[in-house]
Amino acid sequence: MSCKVSIVIEKDENGYYAYCPDLEGCQTQGDDLDEVMANMKEAIGLYIDTLSEEEKKAYLSKEILTTTMEINVA
pLDDT at 1 over 70: no
CA 59, 65, 66, 69 torsion-angle sign: negative
Is residue 30 assigned to a domain?
yes
Residue 18 belongs to domain with CATH number: 3.30.160.250
Is residue 74 assigned to a domain?
no
Is residue 68 assigned to a domain?
no
User: Model confidence over 21-50: pLDDT tens digits?
Assistant: 889 999 999 999 999 999 999 999 999 999
Whole domain around residue 28: which residue ranges? 8-59
Nearest to residue 30, comparing CAs of 22, 18, 44, 13?
Answer: 18
pLDDT band with cut points at 50, 70 and 90 for residue 56: confident
Is residue 72 assigned to a domain?
no
